[in-house]
Amino acid sequence: MDNSQNYFIPKFIISFVRKAQGGNDFETDDDSVIKVSSAVKGVAKAYEKLRTMLEDKEEHLLLKNTLLRILKRKVLVERTRGGIGRELIVELILAGYLPNNKVAESQAHKVDQILSKYFTLLEKSGFYQLTNIGRNKLFNWFLGLAACEVEEALTFSPKELLLREGMEKVVERDMDIDDLGIHESEKKIYFFVGVLRSLFKYDEGLLHYAILKIYYPAWFVAHGPEAEPGAIDDFLADAPIIKSKIESILKNPLNRRFYRVCRKYAIYFSVLKEIVYNHQENIEEIISHPSRLEEEVKQVCGARYKKIRRRLVSSIIRSIIYIFVTKMVLVLLLEMPIDYLLQGQVRYLTLGINVAFPPILMFIVGMVNRLPGSENTKKVVDGVFGIVYQSKNDSAKKYHLGRKRAANAFIFALAVIIYLVTYAISFGVLIYVLQWLHFNIVNGLVFAFFLCVVSFFGVRIRGTAKEMQVEDRGDKFFGTLFDFFFLPFIRMGRMLSTKLSKINVFVFFLDFVFEAPFKLILEVFEVWLNFVREKKEELY
């Protein structure tokens, strides 16, 4: 590719490259930094790993979720009303989310300033008196926003901002959405949400925070010298309306259509980001030679495919162990006693099928996933080149999003009927097979539960395998048939997984019973170690 005449490198790529060469985001000129004991940190980090294992959350969300967990403990258990900035940062360093001996002491004051408006908000809302239980969703929303704002204050990266803005420009350049018939400001929001979801994997909480910054910027200076009088009262009065508006934006079906396009660009940008970070010293030279950039893209893709394979194997093994152990517990505590009670004997064949089938199905579902290959890598190379080397003459749109034609009422009704019939056939066949195998009602319910959960786990694992997939492999007949009849089990599994994740007894015990005294012990131990260290230094 000759980029000297027909192509040019966009300004945002040059800015991103230079920003990436600017050093570590945690570098500070402040002489005073927060330092914790390595011994205490080891214990706290081990606890944090145990705690995160009990929840199925993605790694990039752990810091935000940990902040939310700490804030809930401080408010609900310890009844805290402020002044926890340094304490919060110390907890995050101990848990391994922030680097030790790198975070400036001044950050504690910054966190206290941010949290002060949220604590005032909770005070004015009456949440400390727990007088309005019906508003606990708003309470969780406030604390979720606080966690997001503190995370941004502690880990904000200008590089990520440049990357996001660059992707927005490229996606907007390549998408024709004029036929959608929506206002320009709405287009901006859908581009914005699509980029955040695909490139940075934002969850609902982070998206609420990001959109709030656009629609209600006054809230984010409500704690500083630029704060307007009555800003907290105004926000409290408007909060239900604002929250509802953001929810309506995120529920709009257009988001899914924008996401499908943004997802491919997110792969290109994430590959480009990795190349820039890996070659900060000579990245400008690599970008100026397309053949070298192509080689780097292929290397990154190859490394990522291997990483995805390792994650797939790890996910399958973890899922099989989790399912098998849970199944054995249910067999010993529920199925065997009920078998004996109802039938006067234990039906070992039925129990054996019930124990063996879910792990075997999980193994099969996991192993049939195909990873991307050389054809996919070629498409990633083309995508990265389309970002870095923009043609001076090519202004054609690559994707067209138009209005969907309204479905014919008869066709829509027919589709709904077919969908319901699918449910009836799938669960009908399952019930018939279980009866043929002489399953009792309890054995059957447990079998159906694990079939649904494993089906949903399989879809999630398939999503991991497709993380780097750009090529469209098309729909295979047997794959479509499989999806058609397993869709009811998958949807039921998703619902069960979502509901049960909210009823986690172990997590509740750790968060609200064990964690507060445990963290107090660690804090006392930390103070004692510092005291001993000071006394030792006095001897020299």
What is the pLDDT, as a whole number, of residue 3?
Answer: 44
Instruction: Kindly state whether residue 443 falls inside one of the protein's structural domains.
Output: yes
Please say whether the beta carbons of 279 and 286 come within 8 A. Answer: yes
For position 414, what pLDDT does the model report? 82
Biggest CA-to-CA distance, the chain = 89
The pLDDT value given to residue 150: 96
Angstrom distance (rounded) from CA 86 to CA 26: 16
Q: How would you write the pLDDT of the chain (540 residues) with one tens digit per residue?
A: 444 444 556 666 767 766 665 655 555 555 588 888 777 777 777 777 777 766 666 778 889 999 998 998 888 877 887 788 998 998 899 888 899 888 888 899 999 999 999 998 888 887 766 554 445 678 889 999 999 999 999 998 877 888 888 888 888 888 877 767 777 778 889 999 999 999 999 999 999 999 999 989 889 876 655 566 688 888 989 999 999 999 999 999 888 888 988 999 999 999 988 998 888 778 888 888 889 999 999 999 999 999 998 888 887 887 787 777 777 777 777 777 877 777 777 777 777 888 888 888 888 877 778 888 899 999 999 999 988 887 655 555 677 776 666 556 777 788 788 878 888 888 898 899 888 888 888 888 888 888 888 888 888 888 888 888 887 766 566 566 666 777 888 888 888 877 766 655 666 666 666 766 777 677 666 667 666 666 565 655
CA 323 to chain centre: 23
367 part of a folded domain: yes
Q: Could you tell me the end-to-end alpha-carbon distance of the chain, in angstroms, rounded to an integer?
A: 67
| Helices and strands (H and E) in the chain: how many | 21, 4
Residue 205 DSSP label = H
Of 430, 411, 433, the closest CA to residue 422 belongs to 430
How high is the pLDDT of residue 146?
95
Token representation of residue 262: 């943004």
Kindly state whether residue 449 falls inside one of the protein's structural domains. Answer: yes
Do residues 386 and 482 make contact, with C-beta atoms less than 8 angstroms apart?
no
Distances (CA, A) of 274 to 181, 296, 381: 37, 10, 14
Distance CA 203, CA 243 (A): 15
In a domain, 409, yes or no: yes
The pLDDT value recorded for residue 1 is 45
Give Cβ neighbours of residue 153 (< 8 Å, ≥ 6 apart): 107, 110, 111, 114
> Which run of H or E residues covers position 390?
strand 390-391
**H helices present in 7-101, as ranges:** 11-20, 38-53, 62-72, 85-94
Q: In angstroms, rounded to a whole number, what is the distance separating the alpha carbons of residues 195 and 202?
A: 9
Task: Indicate whether 190 belongs to any domain.
Answer: no
* Residues in CB range of 299: below 8 A, 6 or more apart: none
pLDDT of residue 61: 87
217 within 8 A of 228, measured Cβ to Cβ? no
Would 59 be classed as within a structural domain? no
> 48 in a domain, yes or no?
no
Nearest CA to 273 out of 469, 17, 10 is that of 17
Tell me how far apart the alpha carbons of residues 211 and 217 are, in angstroms, rounded to a whole number. Answer: 10
The Cα 470–Cα 201 span in angstroms is 17
The pLDDT value given to residue 202: 93
The total of structural domains in the chain comes to 1
Domain assignment of residue 486, given as a range? 289-501
Q: Identify whether 466 is part of a domain.
A: yes
Return the pLDDT at 345.
Answer: 73
Residue in the block written with tokens 């695909």: 198
